[in-house]
């Protein structure tokens, strides 16, 4: 569930746009979420940090940074990732054959 939420919100892209490392408050603003969602976003980020998708920023200020595991969540880097993975290339090619 946390992974799906991060993908839908575009968390990896927001961190990437923030220079690869952002505070939770900056991430909340970058995602255009209301301040009342800060605790929820914090929980999602803690789960995904514990899972190795994101990492705690080196500065120790409670921020987050990208890891190589976050690449598949990034819309900006998805075309590169898809080209590198044959199974995704086959799925992408097949999906063009299906009616939308």
pLDDT tens digits along 7-45 = 888 899 999 999 889 999 999 999 999 999 999 999 999
In this model, does residue 87 exceed pLDDT 80? no
Strand partners, 22: 64
Short-list 1, 15, 24, CA closest to 74: 15
Average the pLDDT over 58-84 and give the result: 71
DSSP state at residue 86:
H
Residue reference for tokens 């408050």:
25
> Containing domain of residue 62, as a range?
3-95
pTM, two decimal places: 0.72
In this model, does residue 65 exceed pLDDT 90? yes
Residue reference for tokens 């969602």:
37
* Greatest CA separation for the chain: 49
User: Residue 38: inside a domain, yes or no?
Assistant: yes
Q: Count of domains in the chain?
A: 1
User: Residue 23: inside a domain, yes or no?
Assistant: yes
Average the pLDDT over 49-70 and give the result: 87
Give the span between the Cα atoms of 24 and 55, in whole angstroms.
12
User: Residue 100: inside a domain, yes or no?
Assistant: no
User: Residue 62: inside a domain, yes or no?
Assistant: yes
Domain containing residue 80: CATH number: 1.10.10.10
């Amino acid at each position: 569930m946390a992974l799906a939420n991060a993908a839908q919100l575009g968390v990896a892209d927001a961190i990437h746009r923030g220079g690869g490392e952002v505070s939770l408050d900056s991430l909340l603003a970058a995602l255009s979420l209301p301040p009342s969602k800060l605790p929820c976003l914090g929980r999602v980020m803690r789960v995904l940090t514990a899972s190795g998708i994101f990492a705690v920023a080196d500065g120790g200020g409670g921020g987050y940074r990208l890891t190589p595991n976050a690449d598949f969540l990034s819309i900006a880097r998805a075309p590169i990732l898809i080209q590198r993975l044959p199974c995704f290339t086959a799925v992408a090619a097949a999906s063009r054959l299906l009616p939308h």
